[in-house]
Structure 1
Amino acid sequence: MAHIDYFFATISPYTYLAGTRLEEIAARHGASVTYKPFDIMQLFSRTGGLPPKDRHPSRQEYRLIDIERSAALLGEPITMKPAFWPANPAPSSYAIIAAQAAVARGDAGDLAALVASVTRACWLEDRDVADDDVIRACLTAAGFDPGLADSGLLAGAETYSANLEEAVARGVFGAPFYVTEDGERFWGVDRLSHLDAHLSGQI
């Protein structure tokens, strides 16, 4: 069975725009997915990038243009200036890590829906994804116990930190980022078609 490690940030607009497209591709190819949320601001500093606010004005301007165009092409509504951005991504990431552990134990719940719900809360619904009530609502909407927002925080913090180190070690420098079991890397929602083609054996 093919496998995809999915590196993403819960405050990334492109992670939001990716929606559940990865999971649709994975389902077509019988591939499994491991969710690896990480601190994208730390990743930028570790891999030669800059947080958006520190980029040259030309880059900041083009980033907004690209987000708006990408949203239009994908048919996804988006709030271009979210009320709570950049929020602290750690609490929502810990909840996703806890939810993934719950699924591994056999609990019900939809991880793809959870990631989509969290990123939609940030980039469409003007909600603070660092707020416990928002996180609990996202967990509930995805079929998880909302109490996961308050459980396994130490394990969540350790995994979150380990995900960043793994991302750096494996050549990840942005989000969303997809790494296959054979080491192929694909960066961005606009490269999901390349991932699909790779899993199909076309490239």
Structure 2
Amino acid sequence: MAKTCDYFFTPQSPWAYLGHERFAALAKQYGVQISIKPCDMGKVFSVSGGLPLAKRAPQRQAYRLVELKRWSEHLGMPLNLQPKFFPVSGDAAAKLIIAARIAHGTEAAMRLTGAIMRAVWAEEKNIADAGCLAGLATDAGLDGKVLLQSADTAAVQQEYDRNTDEAIAANVFGAPWYVVGGEGFWGQDRLDFVERAFGKL
């Protein structure tokens, strides 16, 4: 039986960015297949009690910045606390990732995901812009123009909707969210527990 982990996220999440490469490395180390599931976290929030950043209480917003700075420094990862293009819609980027998975497989989709996340949080790029996304895909060794066209298809939209429905069914309420052996783990700060779960598969 294959060892698998469902990976729910939204590509504009700073927490998903901070955990993405470590998660990918752990999955490789333990021989776990990633089921990559970018989803619409706005819809997930609407049924799970979550609030978009702008609607959160000031003290929550302030502490978020403190924690992002701590984790960025702890991990040695570049992160602009208030990037130029944020808040930003993740829909187009999520669908590009799905198109990459369909055309080129999970590894390519994971590589593209990392590039998109870095673009937001370290490179001051606008991932809602089609030209930016095409360039990121091309830089990741994919055909950005072709992928953009594929991302705008009914099949990709259906997978995006299905990922979101699956997230809701799995009681997801934040990103990143990892499901191992039916058990959910919320946040990049739970990767130690994810690793332990991988070891039991």
Q: TM-score, normalised by structure 2?
A: 0.93
RMSD of the TM alignment (CA)? 1.6
Pairs aligned (count): 198
Q: 1:111·1:142 contact (CA, 8 Å) conserved in 2?
A: no
d(CA) in 2 for partners of 1:152, 1:73: 35
Identity of aligned pairs, percent?
37
What is residue 123 of structure 2 aligned with on the other side? Answer: 125
Q: Distance between the aligned counterparts of 2:159 and 2:87, measured in 1?
A: 21
**What does 1:179-198 align with in structure 2 at a 5 Å threshold?**
179-180=179-180, 182-198=181-197
- Rounded to whole Å, the distance in 1 between the matches of 2:84 and 2:172 is 28
- Matches of 1:198 and 1:161 in 2, distance apart? 28
User: Is the 1:177–1:185 Cα contact (8 Å) retained in structure 2?
Assistant: yes
User: By how many angstroms is 1:19 displaced?
Assistant: 3.0
CA deviation string 1:121-151 (max 9, x = no partner): 1111111101111111111122211120121
- 1:109, distance to aligned residue in structure 2 (A): 6.4
Partner of 1:151: 150
Matched, 1:114 2:115: no
Partner Cα distance (2:43, 2:6) in 1: 19
Q: TM-score normalized by structure 1?
A: 0.92
CA offsets, 1:4-27, max 9 Å, x none?
110011110011111311111111
Distance change in 2, residues 1:27/1:53 (3 Å): same
Unaligned runs of 5+ in 1: none
Q: What residue in structure 2 maps to residue 81 of structure 1?
A: 82
* C-alpha displacement of 1:94: 0.7
2:165 paired residue number: 165
Q: Deviations over 1:95-117 (max 9, x none)?
A: 1000000124xxx9622221110
Once the two structures are overlaid, the 10-residue window that deviates more, 149-158 or 90-99, is 149-158
In 1, are the aligned partners of 2:23 and 2:191 still within 8 Å (CA)? yes
Structure 2 gaps, min length 5: none
* TM superposition shift of 1:193: 1.2
